[in-house]
Amino acid sequence: MPRALPQLLGNVLDNALSFSPPGGAVKVELAREEGFARVRVDDQGPGIPEAHRERIFDRFFSWRPSEGKEGHSGLGLAIARAIAEGYGGSIRAGERPGGGARLEVRLPASG
């Protein structure tokens, strides 16, 4: 596995964990689709307003509805996007059915 991929996945998982309530679940699903490996991460947090679904990947942007930005630099998802795109892939944000956020990473599959 290339060295940057653990950081990409770690940043996405850290983000999901930081938004899920205590005792909440973070679901990770892996699949292969149309020549891509897909990693889908669902959390049970407040979700991401549609207006912020692209902005969360901007450097230094952090949206936290119920807490301050202390300890959150707004860099984790920007770094994750840069890594995904560097490998010819993508990352996008959406909503999890039933509430919460869904981040989906797609990377070219080999073999």
Whether this model's pTM surpasses 0.75:
yes
Question: Who contacts 40 (Cβ-Cβ below 8 Å, separation ≥6)?
Answer: 27, 28, 29, 30, 31, 102, 103, 104, 105
CA distance 67 to 44: 16
Question: Beta-carbon neighbour count of residue 66 at 10 Å?
Answer: 8
The domain defined by 5-108 folds into: Heat Shock Protein 90 (3.30.565)
Q: Which two tokens stand for residue 46?
A: 């407040």
pLDDT digits (tens, 9 = 90+) for 4-48: 999 999 999 999 998 888 998 999 999 999 899 999 999 999 999
pLDDT tens for 53-107 read: 999 999 988 877 665 445 567 799 999 999 999 999 999 999 999 999 999 999 9
Query: Domain extents for the chain?
Result: 5-108
